[in-house]
Amino acid sequence: MGQAESQVTPETDNLIWVMPTEGYTQKARMHGSCLKMAGSRFFHPQKGLLSTTIGGKAYPFSTPPIGGAAADWGHHLLSLNKNNASTKETETMKTALSIAGSDSSGGAGIQADLKTMTMNGVFAMSAITALTAQNTTGVRAISEVTPDFLAQQIDAVFEDIFPDAVKIGMVASIGLIETIAERLRFYQPQNIVVDPVMVATSGARLISEDAVDTLKRELLPLATVVTPNIPEAEILSGRTIRTAEDMIAAAEHISTAYGCAVLCKGGHAINDANDLLCANGTIRWFHGKRIDNPNTHGTGCTLSSAIASNLAKGDTLETAVQRAKDYISGALGDMLDLGKGNGPMNHAFDLTGRFRD
């Protein structure tokens, strides 16, 4: 297969247009300090997102931040992989990134996220915020990564396989929260699900109190949807929640204050297994049947990851939530019983095929 030339022509003083030769897939490689490509979006290392146009023949870019006529940039754009016009293009697998902490026992955190995303049909990736030594009986120790290393993980993913959705879980400190927010503003992913993890199912505190304000200020305004449980919704809203009406008031407060949709999860002895979605001023209840299973380790991680997976596949928010609730009901209903404490669910309850046995 030979290479095709990309035609780069100045249309205005402010734009250049990259027109891939017919029958070729347009890609770009980083060349010196020029352009990086992540998926179908182009970035400059300092300037950030240069193009969000995907598909079609033309991709608009900002004026090149490095001197020279637009045509001089042609050598930085390499067209590869000639498509066979007679062959139907295969659908690209959707992708999701989890930014969260590791759970050594496998029931929650990154491990639960990767299992959930895989079982919900998307390619799962991760950026780890912290290592935890924990099992079904509790958390023994937490070791955070540095903000710089977290940023490098996020960059490594976005520059190569741009995620269709991002799920954010346990982030324990101000520096890490600020790093995540800065990188997400830089890359501008379309779907962001924030699970404001503050307390583990076992009762262990997972975020410093002084980081809560930073999380509210930096991450919630970026979120497509935030998924607090009752105690987390009380912290985020500053309200006491005792009734279904209290859930509505808290969700409306959070949504209005931070400009994001809010899925306030029931449970915690309030409203059984019914969850409340507040989005764009509209309230919808998602009714569920409580499953008598004491092993609920990682339920919050699993639900938020399933929502992110469904958003990545193009579902509406309401459909994404309903499908996620159906998935977690199946995982709980499988009645997996592992460990001496609050055990995990079976994320692979629906797995079939010759490799399972």
Domain boundaries, the chain: 7-82, 95-333
Rounded mean pLDDT of the chain? 79
Give residue-wise pLDDT tens across range 47-95.
455 544 434 433 344 433 333 333 333 433 333 333 333 334 457 899 9
pLDDT for 277: 98
Tokens standing for residue 173: 């400190």
Q: Among 31-35, 40-44, 104-108, 318-322, which is the least confidently predicted range? A: 31-35
Cα distances (angstroms) measured from residue 328 to each of 100, 185, 269, 345: 19, 30, 19, 9
Q: Which residues are catalytic?
A: 265, 296, 298-301
Q: Is the pLDDT score of 10 beyond 50?
A: no
Express as a percent the part of the chain with pLDDT over 90: 60
Give residue-wise pLDDT tens across range 129-152.
999 999 999 889 999 999 999 999
Express as a percent the part of the chain with pLDDT over 70: 71
pLDDT for 201: 60
Q: Which residue has the higher pLDDT, 59 or 158?
A: 158
Give residue-wise pLDDT tens across range 270-279.
656 899 999 9
For 95-333, CATH gives 3.40.1190.20
Q: Is the pLDDT score of 230 beyond 70?
A: yes
pLDDT for 271: 55
pTM assigned to the model: 0.77
